[in-house]
Structure 1
Amino acid sequence: MPLPFIASLVFEGLPPWFPDPYLLLKSGTALSALAATKWYSSGRLNTSERKLHGRVVLLTGGTSGIGAAVAQELASRGAQLVLLTRHEQADPFLVEYIQDLRERTNNHLIYAETCDLSSLYNIRKFATKWIDNSPPRRLDMIVLCASTLTPPGGKRTETEEGIETTWMVNYLANFHLLGILSPAIKAQPFDRDVRIVIPTCSSYIGSPKLEMNQVLDSKYWTPGKAYARSKLAMMVFAKAFQKHLDAYKRPDGLPMNAKVVIVDPGFARTPGMRRWLTRGSLLGLMLYMIFYLFAWLFLKSPFMAAQSFLYAAMDGIFIRVPGGKLVKECIEVDCARKDVEDEEVAKKLWEGSDKLIETVEKESAIKRAKLKQKEKEKEEEKKSAEQVEEIEALINTIKKGKAKESTKKNSGADKKSKTPGKEAK
C-alpha cells in the first residue's frame, strides 16, 4: 500500500483532498508560535524536591491565588501548615477549605490561626501568643503570600487603625509580624534550616522613592504607586531583616542559620490580577471573560507562579549562600534598583515603620481602653438597672402580699359581723 501511494504522489502530484501546503505551513507556524508563547509565559518548573515531614510552616494568604497553590504543594510534601487568616477558626468557609486541603494532600497537619493583617493589634495578639510558648515552638519556615491592591481608578482606603490599606497589608503587617516573631526565629537550633520567604513584584522597579511623609500623605497616592511602593519596601526590609538576623550572636557561638529569600512569582491569573485588569467593574469582568484567551496565553496559572516559592522553600543552595537572594523563574537574579541595598534607605524605612506602629498602637490602645470603659459602664448600668428591677419586683411582691393579707382580714371581719348568734353562744 505505501508504494503505490508514494508512486502516485511522485507521478500525479498531491491528491485533490489534500490541504494546500501553504495553508498548512501558515497554520503550523501560527500554532507553533502560540505554543512557544505559552511555554515561555508559563515560566519554569521547580526542579528541587525535598520532603517536608515534621517541618512547621507559617503561611499567609494561603486560601486563594498563589498562596493556595503554595499551601497545597507544601502540604502534599508533608509540611505542618499553620495558615494565618483573617477568618475566625470556626468560620464555615475556613473549616471546609482546611478539610478539603487535608483530603487532597492526605495531610491532616493543617491548621488555621486568626491573624488579620489589616490590624496591628490582631497581629500582635497572634505573634505574642506564639513566642510566649515555653519551650519555644518549632518554626522552620515563614512564607508571606498575602497581598492586596486597589484597582486602577479605585479610591484610597484605610484600615480601622487609620493606615492606608495597601501599605498596611503588603508591607507593614509583614514588618510587624516578623519583628515580633524574631526571637522565635533566633531561638531555633543551629542545625535547623529556617527560611523566611518574602514575595515581591517587578512593579517595584517603577516605584517612587521610599519617603515616609509621601507614604502617609494621600496627595501622593495612586493605586499603582501604592502597590509598587509596598513591594519596594518589602524588598528593602527583606535585605535589612537578613542583616538583622546575621548580626545576632547565638548563645552557643554558632552562626545564624535563618535565611531570607525574596521571590518574584511573575504575573499570574490570580484574583488580585483579575481585579487589576477588570478595574473592579462588571464591564471590565465581561471584557476579561471575552478576551480570556489572552489572559490564558500571557499569564501564568497559580500553580506555575508557585514554582519559584517552592524553589525558595526547598532548594539546598540557600543553606550554603548568604541570605537575601532574589529568585525569579526558579533562578537567582539581581535586583533592578540600587536603593534595595541602600543601608540609609533601609534605616529610615525601619525607623519610620517602628515609629508609625508605636504611634498607631498607642492610639488604638487608648481607643480600646475607652471602649472597654464604656462597655464596663454600660454593664454596671445594666446591673444597677437589674438590681433596681429586682428591688422593685420584691417591693411589689411584698405589697401584693400585704394587700392579700388585709383583704383576707377584712373578709374575715365581715363574716364575723354577719353571724352574731354564734358569737353569743
Structure 2
Amino acid sequence: MVLHIAEAFATKYFPTKYAVHIAVSILTILVLRAFSQGRKTNRERDLHARVILLTGGFTPLGLTLLQSLAQRGAHVIALSPEPIESPGVAVLVDLIRTTTSNEEIYAEECDLTSPSSIRAFCTKFLTGKDQRLDAIVFAHEHKHIGVPKLFSKRDSSQDQKERDANSLATFLITTLLLPALLVAPAERDIRIINVVNPFYAAAAGLPFSTSFATTKGEEDDKPVLPQSKSIFFQEGKRSLRTIIFTRHLQRVLDALPHGAQAPKAEEGVSAIPVVSSKLQKSNIVAISASPGIDRADTVSSIFNADFMSPTGSYLGLFLYLVLQPLLRIFTKSPVSAIQTILHVLFLPTPFKILANTTSATQKDPKDKATQQGPLDASVLEMPEEVLLPGALYSNCAAIKLGVKIPEELRDKDRQMRAENAKAKEKSKAKGKGKEDLKEEVLDIEDDGQYGGELAGRLVWEEYEVALKIWEKENPGPVEEDKAKAGAAQATSSDSQNPSSEKESVY
C-alpha cells in the first residue's frame, strides 16, 4: 500500500521525462554544498596529555571545537564570561565530559571584556602548580560583530568598542602567558592559534590603518586615511590586524636569543637535529586560522537572529529561517568551520619531524656512520605539508595575503630609521674606547609577508597604546577602590591644609 502511494506521488509530481533534470539538479546542489563546506583536514593527532586553553568555548563554533578536542583526549580549559557554577556552563561541561568520556574538560571564569578579569585569570594560572600549555586557541574573535541598521538600532560605536576589546583581550592574554611558554622545554610543541573572521580580504585591498577606535586622536602626526563605514570592512580591518599581529609575534619569537632551539637528540644518538632558519626557529608557533563563513556565528549574527537576546530582531530571525535552504548549501556548518583550526593543530612542524627522524636513526645501529654530525632538515625528505609559522590558513591551506602600507607611513619609518642611525653613530663616536653597557635590541628580520616588519611593528605599538587606554577606561574593583581611597585622602588632606594649593609639589 505504501509503495503504491509513493509510486502515485512520484508519477504525479516527478514525471519520468524530467528524471534526468531532477537528477542533475540534485547532483548540482550536492556539489555546490560540498564545495561550500570547504576542505576537511586529512591529518590526525593524539591530544592526550596536551593542555589547550580555549577562548570563546561556549559559542557555537567553540562548543563544536571543544567537543572535537575532548574526543581526542585533550585537557581543555575553556574560558567563560559567566561563573562556572551557572547552569549554562556547568551543564555543558558535564555533558561534554559524559559524551566524550573525557574528565579533563574544565571551565574557568574570565570576562574578556574586562582587563582586570583577564589579569586575574592569568595570575591565577601562572601561580598555580601546573603551568603547562601546549596550545592557546583564541576562538572568541571569530564571531561576527556588527548588524545592519535594518536589523538593529544599536550604535555602531558600541560595535567598534567590542571589536577593539576582543582584539586587546587576545593581545593581553598572549603577552601575559608568553613568559610561561618561553620557559617550557625546547622539545615541547607549542601553538598559538588566532581564529579570525573571513572578511580580512575586504580590508586588504585598501591602505591599511593600524588605529583602534580608542586611540584616535592620541597622535596628531598619524596620517588620516580614508576608511569605509561598512561593517564588513570594519570586521575585515579587525581580522587583518590580528593576522599582522600574529605574523609579527612569530618574528619576535624567532628573534629571541633562545629562539633557534630544536628538540634534543635522544641518548645514544650522535645525530644533532638542526633546523634550517627558513623552516622553523622557535618551538612556539603562532598561526592565524580563518574558518570561513558559517551559519551559526557569522550569518545569524549579521541578521541579529538571536531569539534569546532581548535586542534580537524578529525580522532577522524570520529571514534567517526562510533562507535556511540556501544557507545550508552555501554556508558552513560548525563542524566544517573547525576543520581549518584542527588542521593547524594537527600539522607536523619541522622540529617534530626532526625528533621523529632522530628516534628512527637510533633504531638502526648499522648506520652509525651516517649519524655523525648535524642532521639538517633542509636535506631531509619532508612530508607533503608542514606547518608554516606565522602563516594564515583558510580551507586547510596556507594562503598569501597582500597588505598595502601607505607611503606616508613608509616615509615616516625611513626618516625615523635614518635619525636612529645618526644617533647611534654619534653615541659610538662619543663612547669610543669606553666599555658602556648597551641595550639589547632584537634583530627582527623583514620577511615582507603581510606588510612586512613595518606593518607588524606598527600594529604591535598600536596594541600597546590601546591596551593602556582600555585598562584606564575599564578599571577593576581593586583599581576603583584605590582611586576612591586616593580621592578621599586628597579631599581630607585639602580640608586639613587649606594652604596646600600654594605650596610647591616636587
Quote the offset at 1:369 in angstroms: 3.9
2:164 maps to 1:167: yes
Moved more, 259-268 or 359-368: 359-368
Equivalent residues of 2:186, 2:261 under 8 A apart: no
2:247 maps to 1:239: yes
* Structure-2 change in CA distance of 1:318 and 1:71 (3 Å): farther
Q: Secondary structure at the match of 1:261?
A: strand
Paired residue for 2:289, among 255, 259, 263? Answer: 263
CA distance in 2, matches of 1:157, 1:235: 23
Quote the offset at 1:374 in angstroms: 5.1
Quote the offset at 1:250 in angstroms: 2.7
Equivalent residues of 1:210, 1:345 under 8 A apart: no
CA distance in 2, matches of 1:124, 1:21: 68
Deviations 1:39-91 (A, max 9, x none): 11111221111110000000011112211111111110000000011111212
Equivalent residues of 2:344, 2:387 under 8 A apart: no
Quote the offset at 1:221 in angstroms: 5.3
Q: Specify the code of the residue in structure 1 equivalent to 2:200.
A: Y
Matches within 5 A, 1:276-355: 276-278=302-304, 280-317=312-349, 319=351, 322-337=388-403, 340-355=450-465
CA distance in 1, matches of 2:293, 2:460: 28
* Structure-2 change in CA distance of 1:51 and 1:215 (3 Å): same
1:69 is matched with: 64
* Structure-2 change in CA distance of 1:246 and 1:141 (3 Å): same
Q: Specify the code of the residue in structure 1 equivalent to 2:287.
A: V
Q: Secondary structure at the match of 1:164?
A: helix
1:129 is matched with: 124
1:58 is matched with: 53
Quote the offset at 1:318 in angstroms: 6.7
CA distance in 1, matches of 2:240, 2:341: 18
Quote the offset at 1:344 in angstroms: 1.5
* Structure-2 change in CA distance of 1:38 and 1:197 (3 Å): same
Paired residue for 1:275, among 276, 293, 301? Answer: 301
Which protein shows a greater Rg? 1
CA distance in 1, matches of 2:57, 2:20: 46
Q: Secondary structure at the match of 2:467?
A: helix
Q: Secondary structure at the match of 1:212?
A: coil
Equivalent residues of 1:60, 1:144 under 8 A apart: yes
Q: Specify the code of the residue in structure 1 equivalent to 2:334.
A: P
Structure 1 unaligned runs (5+)?
A: 1-15, 379-425
Quote the offset at 1:238 in angstroms: 0.4
Equivalent residues of 2:164, 2:212 under 8 A apart: no
Deviations 1:372-419 (A, max 9, x none): 5759999xxxxxxxxxxxxxxxxxxxxxxxxxxxxxxxxxxxxxxxxx
TM-score by length of 2: 0.65
Equivalent residues of 1:201, 1:266 under 8 A apart: yes
CA distance in 1, matches of 2:457, 2:398: 25
* Structure-2 change in CA distance of 1:127 and 1:318 (3 Å): farther
1:177 is matched with: 173
Equivalent residues of 1:41, 1:300 under 8 A apart: yes
Quote the offset at 1:366 in angstroms: 9.0
2:393 maps to 1:361: no
Equivalent residues of 1:164, 1:216 under 8 A apart: no
Q: Secondary structure at the match of 2:398?
A: strand
1:417 is matched with: none
Q: Specify the code of the residue in structure 2 equivalent to 1:143.
A: V
1:393 is matched with: none
CA distance in 1, matches of 2:105, 2:212: 41
Deviations 1:113-139 (A, max 9, x none): 1221111121111123222346x6111
Q: Secondary structure at the match of 2:25?
A: helix
CA distance in 2, matches of 1:363, 1:125: 17
1:12 is matched with: none
Equivalent residues of 1:167, 1:227 under 8 A apart: no
Deviations 1:115-172 (A, max 9, x none): 21111121111123222346x611100111113412122423549xxx8111211x11
Paired residue for 1:193, among 189, 192, 200? Answer: 189
2:155 is matched with: 155
Q: Secondary structure at the match of 2:156?
A: coil
2:379 is matched with: none
* Structure-2 change in CA distance of 1:367 and 1:156 (3 Å): farther
TM-score by length of 1: 0.76
Q: Secondary structure at the match of 1:172?
A: helix
Quote the offset at 1:226 in angstroms: 2.6
2:198 maps to 1:202: yes
Percent identity over paired residues: 26
* Structure-2 change in CA distance of 1:244 and 1:191 (3 Å): same
Q: Specify the code of the residue in structure 2 equivalent to 1:177.
A: I
Deviations 1:151-202 (A, max 9, x none): 122423549xxx8111211x11101110111111111111111111111233
CA distance in 2, matches of 1:103, 1:213: 43
Quote the offset at 1:371 in angstroms: 3.9
* Structure-2 change in CA distance of 1:238 and 1:309 (3 Å): same
> Cα RMSD over matched residues?
3.0
Equivalent residues of 2:135, 2:191 under 8 A apart: yes
2:108 maps to 1:113: yes
CA distance in 2, matches of 1:243, 1:252: 12
2:149 maps to 1:141: no
CA distance in 2, matches of 1:100, 1:24: 46
2:413 is matched with: none
CA distance in 2, matches of 1:252, 1:205: 33
Quote the offset at 1:311 in angstroms: 0.7
Q: Secondary structure at the match of 2:199?
A: helix
Quote the offset at 1:315 in angstroms: 1.6
